[in-house]
Structure 1
Amino acid sequence: MAVQGPTLVRKQLGRRLRQLRDASGLTERQILAETDLSKSTLYFIEQGLRTVKRRNVRELCRVYQADASVTEALVRLADGTGERGWWEDFSDILPAWFRPYIGLEAAADRLMSYEPDLVHSLLQTVDYATVVFQASHPDADQAGLDRHLALLAKRQRAVFDRDPAIEITALLGEGVLAREVGSPELMAGQIQHLRLLRQRAKVDIRILPWTAGAHPAMTGGFALLAFNDPLDPTFVYLETQVGAHYLEDQAQIDVYRNVFDHVGKLCVPIEEHLFKPSVDKDRTT
């Protein structure tokens, strides 16, 4: 059974309504003149950014001259856009720009990520996540930390306890393992956790060694989320300190997919990296 959620349903509905608009040949001005919708409402509907009312779907389908079966199917999708996502319980700590990603992450069929300096959130232990949060939020209190860890635990359960399971391919720069976050003992626990996750059937964790030299992902980390339904194509997620970018243009997606594939060929499985003797040890034997 396909995984669903309000974010994904909103995106599906928005995309299908945009397809009907393009097929109709109508301009935005003509559509607004024939409906009670404002320009901003039409934009939010097509981008999948808000709950959609049934009457708005019927109005748009009427203007686009969609047949009855298509109209009713889209109306049923509109009902799903009003469902409450579990992440909305964390609206007090979730920035608005991150909320769409949470829903899409929980619904994606495949996650492909590259992180040069940080273990991906879904792969973090509680201890590692605690130190990272405290370093990036030095003024946060214990309550803030507890909320962050509760959100992270919910995200991880939403992804790893799913059926069908999500496919994860995580590429980590060697600096992720070399950087001492917290303490050597903490890092040993985090690395052991990565090894255990790697034993899952659909989880692949690889390390980009320093010896790979220059590579096409040196501009920073990114994630690709892909869906089996062709109406829900892959998109790229780029995060900054103050916001995020969601790239859906096919040409941009192709660039990042090619970068990911190229970097992936330079990586080694985490088991191979962890058990490879270091140069210093070789010299002492």
Structure 2
Amino acid sequence: MSGARPTVRRRRLAAVLLALREEAGKSPEEAAERIGCHRTKINRIENARLGISLGELRDLLTFYGVEDDGYVEQLVALARRGREPGWLQQLGTALPSYADYIDYERTANYIRSFEPLLITGLLQTPDYARALVEGSNAMLSRERVDELVGIRMERQQSVLEGDNPPRLCVIQGEAALLTRVGGAKVMRGQLDRLLAGAEHPSVELQVVPHSAGAHAGLMGAFVLFGFPTPAYSDVVCVENKTGTLYLETAEEIDTYTLTFDSLRSTALAPAESRDLIARLRTTFD
């Protein structure tokens, strides 16, 4: 379908092919001649507007001098998966603003999340998620709210309960633990969920207390996604009211990595964080 949004995987493969071609000193015309096509096809492949056959991919990688068989197979797997419909399309849901984020979330092997004001999405309860969605947009229908909450719960199941869950490092601001989203009963359940989530073998949870004062995260929430293969560079996601900003340059990644590391140093240790959550839970009794 020519009007379809290219998947995250296709865009990543496109970026890798462009970089490999330029590193090899080859022109689009030379690449096109190699696989017997017009240069516009190479441009469309490198702009993620067109997929590439596995045979053409292997031929171009040979032409670009890629000799690492393991890396070649990683890119072939990336091309094969780039043809799959995104997770939201499989759910029968049209939410393009979330599609990229969820693709990153599902393919990452290391997720670092800083949330100063809200409970991180992967550890929210259905009641908390519902109150949050309803509170942030009163115009949504009940059916739409149900749909969005269902997607969030499906994300949790897919990411945390899969065969190889990613390492998830969450830093919560104390304000997120005190804001009465949905009321006292909802918050009791939510803090119980946080405590249970902190026991998950792949989850590390820390809290930045109010007493920390000024710290590196005062500019707001962000998520850092890390991936297991060289075909995926790290990605920073910064959400706002109208969409999500994706940052991928080395300088941007370094800045947010240093910010997260600083926050980990500022935050309470995991055991102290759990103690604080347990104490704050009693304020909702």
Tell me the TM-score range normalised by the shorter chain: 0.7 to 0.9
What does 1:66-77 correspond to in 2, within 5 Å? Answer: 73=73, 77=78
Q: 1:258 to 1:163 in 2, by over 3 A?
A: same
Cα shift readout 1:221-247 (whole Å, capped 9, x = no counterpart): 000011222332321111111122211
How far has the Cα of 1:201 moved from its partner?
1.0
Q: 1:153 to 1:67 in 2, by over 3 A?
A: closer
1:44 aligns with: 47
SS at match of 1:171: strand
Checking the alignment, whether the CA contact within 8 Å between 2:29 and 2:39 is kept in structure 1 is no
Cα shift readout 1:78-128 (whole Å, capped 9, x = no counterpart): 33311123321356441x232111011011111101111111111100000
1:272 aligns with: 275
Q: 1:151 to 1:254 in 2, by over 3 A?
A: same
What does 1:124-143 correspond to in 2, within 5 Å? Answer: 124-143=124-143
TM-score by length of 2: 0.81
Checking the alignment, whether the CA contact within 8 Å between 2:181 and 2:187 is kept in structure 1 is yes
For 2:164 and 2:72, the matched residues in 1 are separated by 28
SS at match of 1:206: strand
Which amino acid is the alignment partner of residue 53 of structure 2? R
Checking the alignment, whether the CA contact within 8 Å between 1:110 and 1:166 is kept in structure 2 is yes
1:3 aligns with: none
- Greater alpha carbon shift after TM alignment, 240-249 vs 26-35: 26-35
1:54 aligns with: 53
Unaligned 5+ runs, structure 2: 1-5
Q: 1:35 to 1:65 in 2, by over 3 A?
A: farther
Q: 1:7 to 1:166 in 2, by over 3 A?
A: farther
SS at match of 2:225: strand
Task: Tell whether 2:186 aligns with 1:186.
Answer: yes
What does 1:254-269 correspond to in 2, within 5 Å? Answer: 254-268=254-268, 269=270
For 2:41 and 2:91, the matched residues in 1 are separated by 30
What does 1:26-175 correspond to in 2, within 5 Å? Answer: 26-27=26-27, 35-37=38-40, 41-45=44-48, 52-54=51-53, 57-58=56-57, 61=60, 64=63, 73=73, 77-90=78-91, 92-94=93-95, 96-175=96-175
2:230 aligns with: 230
How far has the Cα of 1:274 moved from its partner?
2.7
How far has the Cα of 1:168 moved from its partner?
0.8
Q: 1:37 to 1:275 in 2, by over 3 A?
A: same
How far has the Cα of 1:154 moved from its partner?
1.3
Which amino acid is the alignment partner of residue 51 of structure 2? V
How far has the Cα of 1:151 moved from its partner?
0.9
How far has the Cα of 1:260 moved from its partner?
0.5
Cα shift readout 1:113-153 (whole Å, capped 9, x = no counterpart): 11111111111000000000001121111110111122112
- Greater alpha carbon shift after TM alignment, 7-16 vs 78-87: 7-16
TM-score by length of 1: 0.81
SS at match of 2:111: strand
Which amino acid is the alignment partner of residue 131 of structure 1? A
For 1:256 and 1:67, the matched residues in 2 are separated by 31
Q: 1:55 to 1:192 in 2, by over 3 A?
A: closer
Checking the alignment, whether the CA contact within 8 Å between 1:226 and 1:234 is kept in structure 2 is yes
Q: 1:263 to 1:78 in 2, by over 3 A?
A: closer
SS at match of 1:238: strand
Which amino acid is the alignment partner of residue 150 of structure 1? G
Q: 1:21 to 1:39 in 2, by over 3 A?
A: closer
How far has the Cα of 1:38 moved from its partner?
5.7
Which amino acid is the alignment partner of residue 52 of structure 1? G
Checking the alignment, whether the CA contact within 8 Å between 1:35 and 1:60 is kept in structure 2 is no
Cα shift readout 1:193-246 (whole Å, capped 9, x = no counterpart): 000010111111111111100112111100001122233232111111112221
Checking the alignment, whether the CA contact within 8 Å between 2:237 and 2:245 is kept in structure 1 is yes
Give the paired residue count: 269
How far has the Cα of 1:272 moved from its partner?
2.5
Which amino acid is the alignment partner of residue 80 of structure 2? D
For 2:76 and 2:125, the matched residues in 1 are separated by 42
Pairwise CA RMSD: 3.3
**Identity across aligned pairs (percent)?**
26
SS at match of 1:145: helix
